[in-house]
Chain A
C-alpha cells in the first residue's frame, strides 16, 4: 500500500474539527478515535519502513509558496521514524485519560489536544525549514490555550512566561532561518528552504556560527537546557497533567531533533565551532538538573528537572559528533518520551489519591493498598533512571560511549549524572510509595481506566528493554549519515564537494 504522510499528519486536526462540530458530548470520542487511527497508521509506517535506507521515505513534495521557495515537503527516515511513533503512542493514553476527566469547554479543550498532535507531527515530518518553523510555532498555540485555559494555580503568569520565553526563542530561529535561506542562495539562483537543497548550498563559516547560535537558543529553550529553563517550574506546576505529559514527553524532543535534522547537516562548520560550548551546556544541564531534582519537593518538578538532565544527555550525545553518541541520542529521545508520559500519568493518579497534593514531604505509603500502581511506578522509575536492562540504559550507554570517544573528561563528568539519577528517582519512588502514609494520602489501587492508559506504555518500555536493537537498527543509517555530514569539516568552501559527498576529516581539536 502507498503511505501518505499528509493523511496521518492532518488526521488529528480533522478529528478535532469534526468533533468540535459534533458537540460537547461527542468531541472527546472523535478526537480519541483520531489519535487511535494515527497510532495505527504510525505502526503501519513502522512495519513498512525500510531499515537499511538512509534516505527519506514516503516523501510528499509539493510547491507551497513558490515565490519564497517554501515547499510542502514531508518525509520519514531513521531520525524521525520513532519520533512520529512516539507522538502517536503518547497521544492515545493522554487523550484517553483526558476523556474521563471533566473539563470546562470540552470542545475547545479537545480541539486543542488534536491540533497539538498535528503540529508536533508536522514539526517531525517537515523536510522544509520554513515548514518546520511553521509547525514549530504552531505547537505553541494549542499549548498556550491548554495551559492558560485549563491550568491550575497561577496559570496566567505561567502561560505568559511559557509563551514569551519560547516565542522569543523561536523568533530568533525564524530570523536565523530567513538569513540562512537568503544568504545561501547562489547568485541568480532561486531561494529555497528545502533541507535537502540547503545541505547542498553553502554559507560562510562565520555566518554559520551565528545562525547556529540562533537555532540553538530556540532549541535549548524548548528542550529545555540550563540556563534557559526559566519557564519550566511555573509551567510544570500549572499545566494540566495530561497536557504536561505531552509537553514534557514529546514536545521537548522537537528542539533536540532540530539539531540533528537541521543544524548538523546544514551548518556543519557552525556546529563544530560551538561543539565544545554545547557540550558544556549539556554537561552542566545534566549536573544541575540532577542536583535540583534531588532537592525538589513537588513530584512534578522532580521530573521537570530530571528532564533537563536527560535532555542534557541527549544534547551531549548529539554534539559528541560521533555515531555512537548520536545513535544514543536518537534512542534516548524515544526512551525519555516513553518514560515521561507514564510518569506524569502516574503522578496524576497519585495526586488523585492524595487530595491533589504533589509534595513528596506529604506523600508516602501508597504501595500499601495500591500494589499494582506501585509496581507500574517501580518499572517506570527503573527505566527513567536508566537502569541496565532498560532501553534507556542502552541509549545512555551509547551517549556516554560517544562522549568518551573524543571528549572523555566531559563524558566522565556526565556519568556522575547517572548516579544522581539513581538517587533522585529512587527517592521519589520511596517518598510516594514507601514509608508510612502521608497525611493526605488515601491509598487505593489504580483503576481500570488509568491501568489501560499506563500499562501498555510500561509494556512497551519492558519490550524495548528486552530488544533495544529493534530501534537502533532502524535509526542507524540516517543518524550515521547526519553525523558524517557534520564531521566532514569544510574549513574552506571548496572542500564541500557537490552531491553531499564531503571528505571525511577528523573534527578540530579543542576550540573554545
Chain B
C-alpha cells in the first residue's frame, strides 16, 4: 500500500470509531464503547506507522505525496479537493496525535467508567481525533479550515461535556467563539492567497507565492498575520488565550488530550506548514516570535500565582506553546516540533497525574487544599514528578533537549532576537519553579484528610458539587460520575501514564545535538527549502545552551524547594509583601475583565439598544407604523363600507390603481 493509502486509513479508523460509538450508544454494553474507541485510535496509530515506513522508502525529494478523493468544491475559480498530503511533517504530527490520543483513550476507559455519558464521551473523543488528523493531513487551505473548525467543535463539546454545569457550558461557548474568530482569520488569509497565487492547495500557494510576492509584500504580510490570528486563537496565545484556562471545565483526560497535547499545538503546526510564506514575510514571522515570547512569559508568571491545579497546568501549556511558536517563528522548525512532541508527552502525563489527584480529592482542584499525597499515591507521585522534571527542563529529560534547542536557535539569529531568548530563559526559570511548586504542594507536607484516608485504604467521596461554583449536583447524565478513579487502583490509567512517564524522561535521546538528531533529519525534506539553514546553531552553542538551561532548572527547583519545603510560610510572606503583584497575577493580568468591558458589554448593549430602540421606534414605529398608517388613511373610505380583513383587499385595489396611474403617467411623458 502506498503512503497515501495509509494516510486515508489514518482518517478512516477514528471516523469508523465515531460512527460505532455514536450509533451504538444504546446497545454497546459496559466499557465496550471505550475499548472500541481506543482500538480505533490504536489502529490509526498503526496506520501512521505504515505511512511512515512507506514514506521512508521513497527518495528524500519525493516524500511529499498528495492524493485526492473527490472535488470538494470547484467553481468560479475557487477549487479545493478532498485531498490529503502525506509528507514528513504530516506523518510526524499523525504519529504524535494518534499515539498520545491512544494512551489518553485508554486512560479515559477507567477515568470515565462511572460517567453516565460514557459512550457520548468516546464518540466526541473519536470525533476530535478524526478532526485533528484531518487538520494535519489536509492538502489545501479549505480542508485545513474544515479540520480547524472540527477540532474547535469537538473541543466545545468536550469542554461542556458535563453540560448541566453552567460553568462548563459557559466555558464551552467562550472557547467556541474564540475559535471561530480564528477560523475567520484563516478564511480571509485563504482568500488573499487564492487571489494572488490562484490556488488553495499548499503546493500551489507556496509555488505561486514565490512569483506573486516580493519579500515582505504587504498582502503577504497581511495574509500571514491572519494565519497567525488563526494559529493564536487555537494555540491560546496572547491576546486570544482566555478560553484555555476556562476549558479546564472539561473532564481531565480531555484537558490532557485537547488542551495540552494536540489541538492547542495546531497553531504551531500551521506556522510550520506555511513556513514558505512566513520566510517570505519575515515581518509577520517576527511578530509571531515576539508574541510567542510575550505569551510564554505572561503565562509562566500567572502559573506562579493561581491555585487551581488544572489551571496551573493550563497556563503552563500556554507558556510552553509560546516556546513552540517562538521556535517555528524564528525558523527553528525541527526544534519547535520536537518540543511539540515532548510537550505532548509530559503535559498529557501531568494532566493525567492531576486527574488522579483530583480523583483522590473527590473532585477538588485547589492546591491549597492538597498536600502529602506522596505515600498515599506512590505511582501518581513518581509519574507526576517525571512530568514535572521534563517540564522544568531538568538535565537529560525530554523537555531539556527540546526547549533549549529553541532558545539556542533564537540566540543564533543574532540581533534583537537575543532579547527574546533572554525572556525565554527567565521564563524557563519560572517554569521550573512552578512545576515544583505543584509537586511540593501536592505531594509533600502534611497529608490532608483525603490523603490519610487513602493511606488507610478508602477513597474519599465528597459531596457531589461543582468545585468552581459550589452548586450541588447529582450523578446523572451531564454531571461527573459518582465514582472517582485514581491511577493506583485502575490499571488502564497506569498503563497510559507509565509509557508517558518513560517518554517524558528519555524521549530527548532522539534529538541530542550532534549525536542523534533523528527528528531533525526526518523532517528535513519538509524544511529543506528554508532560508535559515545558515543561522542554525552549531553543536557547540547548542551544548552551551543546554548547560545554561540545565543550571537554571536546577537552581529554580532549589528555590522552590526552599520556599515550599525548607522554609514553609515563605510563600505566604511573599504574597503579603507583594500583594499588588500577586493580585495582578492571580487575576491573570485582568484579561477577562478587559474583554468583558471592550467586547462583551458593548455587544450586549448594542443588542438591547437595537431591541428596545431601533426595533420599537424605528422599524416598528416609523416604518411599519408609517406604512400601515398610510394604508389606514388610504383605506378609511373602504373601511366605511367594508370591515375586517377585507380592508386588505381594498388596499390591493387601491395600490393597483395607483400602479396603473403611475404607468399612464410615465407612458404619456
Binding site for B on A (CB under 8 A): 144, 148, 159-161, 163-165, 167-168, 171-172, 174-175, 178-179, 182-183, 226-231, 233, 288, 291-292, 294-296, 322-324, 326-327, 365, 367-369, 371, 375, 378, 382, 385, 387-389, 393-394, 397-398, 400-402, 404-405, 412, 415, 418-420, 422-423, 426-427, 430, 433-436, 467-469, 472-473, 475-476, 480
Partner of A389, one of B149, B187, B611: B149
* A324 nearest CB neighbor, chain B only: B76
The answer to whether the Cβ of B383 comes within 8 Å of any Cβ in the partner chain is no
> In the bound complex, how far is the Cα of B181 from the Cα of A231, in angstroms?
33
**10 closest pairs, A vs B, by CB?**
A295-B607, A175-B659, A230-B624, A323-B76, A388-B149, A434-B163, A422-B180, A171-B655, A472-B75, A324-B76
Asked, given contacts A167-B648, A400-B191, whether A324 binds B78 with beta carbons under 8 Å apart, the answer is: yes
Closest to B117 in A: A371
Chain B residues near A419: list those with CB within 8 A: 177, 180-181, 184
A473 to B73, CA, bound (A): 8
Give complex CA distance A433, B173 in Å. 13
Q: Choose among A171, A228, A398 the residue that contacts B75 (Cβ–Cβ < 8 A).
A: A398
Q: Are A179 and B663 in contact (CB under 8 A)?
A: yes
Given contacts A175-B658, A476-B75, contact A469 B70 (CB under 8 A): yes
Given A175-B659, A178-B663, is A230 in contact with B623 using a C-beta cutoff of 8 Å?
A: yes
Do A229 and B652 touch across chains, with their CB atoms under 8 A apart? no
Give 1 or 0 for each of B119-161: 1 = CB within 8 Å of chain A CB: 0100000000000000000000010011011100100110010
Q: Would you give the shortest CB distance from A85 to chain B, in whole angstroms?
A: 18
Given A164-B627, A327-B76, A423-B173, the answer on whether A401 and B194 have CB atoms closer than 8 Å is yes
Q: Could you pull out 26 A-B pairs where Cβ atoms are within 8 angstroms?
A: A144-B648, A160-B628, A160-B648, A164-B648, A165-B624, A175-B658, A178-B660, A182-B666, A288-B614, A291-B606, A296-B611, A365-B164, A371-B25, A378-B157, A388-B146, A388-B150, A388-B183, A393-B146, A402-B76, A404-B195, A415-B184, A419-B184, A426-B156, A426-B172, A435-B169, A468-B73
Asked if B77 and A323 make an inter-chain contact with CB atoms under 8 angstroms apart, the answer reads yes
Q: Please state if B667 and A183 are interface contacts (CB–CB under 8 Å).
A: yes
Interfacial chain B residues near A165, Cβ < 8 Å: 624, 627-628
Partner of A388, one of B148, B476, B623: B148
Q: Given A148-B645, A160-B648, 18 more contacts at CB 8 Å?
A: A159-B645, A168-B631, A168-B655, A183-B666, A294-B604, A323-B76, A369-B477, A378-B157, A382-B153, A389-B150, A393-B149, A401-B78, A418-B183, A430-B172, A434-B164, A467-B70, A472-B73, A473-B75
- CB distance A433 to B663 under 8 Å? no
Closest to B655 in A: A171
- Docked pose: A365 CA to B169 CA in angstroms: 11
Asked if A227 contacts B619 (CB within 8 A), the reply is yes
For A412, list chain B residues within 8 Å (CB). Answer: 188
Q: Min CB distance, B557 to chain A, in Å? A: 43
CA distance A450 to B628 in the complex (A): 39
Task: Assess whether B610 is interfacial by the CB under 8 Å rule.
Answer: yes
**Distance from B143 Cβ to chain A, minimum over Cβ atoms (Å):** 9
Q: List residues of chain B with CB within 8 A of the CB of A164.
A: 627-628, 631, 648, 651
Residue B478 at the A interface, CB < 8 A?
yes
A388 to B614, CA, bound (A): 33
Q: Chain A residues near B620 (CB, 8 Å)?
A: 230, 233
CB B43 to nearest CB in A, in angstroms, measures 22
| Min CB–CB distance A498 → chain B (angstroms) | 25
* Shortest beta-carbon distance from B639 to chain A in Å: 12
A404 and B631 form a contact (CB under 8 A): no
Q: Which of chain B's residues 239-268 have a Cβ closer than 8 Å to chain A?
A: none
Establish whether residues A161 and B70, one from each chain, have CB atoms under 8 Å apart when the complex forms.
no
Of all chain A residues, the one with the shortest Cβ separation from B176 is A426
B607 touches A422 (CB 8 A): no
B173 surroundings in chain A (CB, below 8 A): 423, 426-427, 430
Task: Output the least CB separation between A283 and chain B (Å).
Answer: 15
Mostly, the A contact residues are helix
- Check if A398 sits within 8 Å of B78, measured CB to CB: yes
B643 contacts A by Cβ under 8 Å: no
Do residues B160 and A434 form an inter-chain contact, with CB atoms below 8 A? yes
| Chain A nearest Cβ from B20, distance in angstroms | 15
Q: How far is the CB of A396 from chain B (nearest CB, A)?
A: 9
> Do the beta carbons of B72 and A469 come within 8 Å of each other?
yes
Q: Which residue of chain A has its CB nearest to the CB of B79?
A: A469
CA distance A298 to B659 in the complex (A): 39
How distant is the Cα of A397 from the Cα of B655 in the complex, in angstroms?
41
Judge if B662 is at the interface, Cβ distance under 8 Å. Answer: yes
In whole angstroms, what is the CA distance A67 to B77 when docked? 45
B166 and A435 contacting across the interface, CB-CB below 8 Å: yes
Which residue of the partner chain A has the closest CB to B188?
Answer: A415
The residue that B191 contacts in the complex, of A174, A179, A401, A434, with Cβ under 8 A, is A401
Contact A175:B610 (CB < 8 A) given known A163-B648, A227-B618, A422-B180: no
| Cα separation A472 to B73 with both chains bound (whole Å) | 7
Query: Is the Cβ of A178 less than 8 Å from the Cβ of B180?
Result: no
Q: Which residues of B contact A389 (CB under 8 A)?
A: 146, 149-150
B462-498 interface (Cβ within 8 A of A): 476-478
On chain B, the residues within 8 Å of A394 by CB distance are 72-73
Interface bits B619-634 vs A (CB < 8 Å: 1, else 0):
1100110011001000
Are A175 and B663 in touch, CB under 8 angstroms? yes
In the assembly, what is the distance between CA of A233 and CA of B663, in Å?
34
- CA of A457 to CA of B53, assembled, Å: 43
CA distance A159 to B646 in the complex (A): 12
Instruction: Name the B residues within 8 Å of A423 (CB-CB).
Output: 173, 177
Determine if B656 is an interface residue (Cβ-Cβ < 8 Å). Answer: yes
Q: How many Å from the CB of B475 to the closest CB on chain A? A: 13
- Alpha-carbon gap, A183 to B180, bound state (A): 50
Closest residue of A by beta carbon distance from B618: A227
B514 close to A (CB within 8 Å)? no
Please provide the chain B residues from 195 to 237 with a CB less than 8 Å away from any CB of chain A in the complex.
195
Give chain B nearest CB distance to A237 CB in angstroms.
Answer: 13
User: Which residues on B sit within 8 Å (CB–CB) of A469?
Assistant: 70-75
A31 smallest CB distance to B (angstroms): 24
With A and B bound together, what is the CA distance between A324 and B188 in angstroms? 15
Q: CA separation between A165 and B655, bound complex, in Å?
A: 12
Contact A291–B78 (Cβ < 8 Å): no
B70-91: which have CB < 8 Å to A?
A: 70-78
A368–B478 CB distance below 8 A: yes
Contact among A295, A365, A375, A402 for B608, CB-based, below 8 A: A295
Give bound CA distance, A292 to B609, whole Å.
9
Of the listed residues B73, B156, B180, the one surrounded by the most CB atoms of chain A closer than 10 A to its CB is B73
- In the bound assembly, the distance between CA atoms of A383 and B442 in angstroms comes to 45
The distance from the CB of B177 to the nearest CB of chain A, in whole angstroms, is 6
Contacts A183-B666, A292-B610, A467-B70; is A324 near B150 (CB within 8 Å)?
no
B610 adjacent to A288 (CB under 8 Å): yes
- Which residue of A has the minimal Cβ distance to B662? A175
Chain B residues contacting A327 (CB-CB under 8 Å) are 75-76
B71 neighbours in A (Cβ, 8 Å): 469, 473
Return B183 CB to nearest CB of chain A, in Å: 6
B628 touches A368 (CB 8 A): no
Shortest Cβ distance from A162 into B: residue: B648
- Which residues of A sit under 8 angstroms from B618, Cβ to Cβ? 227
Residues of B within 8 A of A326 (CB): 76
Assuming the A-B contacts A164-B628, A174-B659, are A295 and B176 also in contact, with contact meaning beta carbons closer than 8 angstroms in the complex? no
Task: Tell me the smallest distance from the CB of A506 to a CB of chain B, in Å.
Answer: 16
A231–B187 Cα distance when bound, in Å, is 35
- B176 x A291 contact (CB < 8 A): no
Q: Which of A144, A375, A378, A473 is the one whose CB lies under 8 Å from B74?
A: A473
Interface presence of B615 (CB below 8 A): yes
Which single residue of chain A is at the shortest CB-CB distance from B659? A175
Distance A179 CA – B668 CA, assembled complex (angstroms): 11
Is B274 in the interface zone, CB < 8 Å from A? no
The answer to the question of B2 belonging to the interface, with a C-beta cut-off of 8 Å to chain A, is: no
* B659→A178 contact, CB < 8 A: yes
B603 on interface, CB distance cutoff 8 Å: yes
**A433 / chain B contacts, CB cutoff of 8 Å:** 163
B655 lies within 8 A of A167 (CB): yes
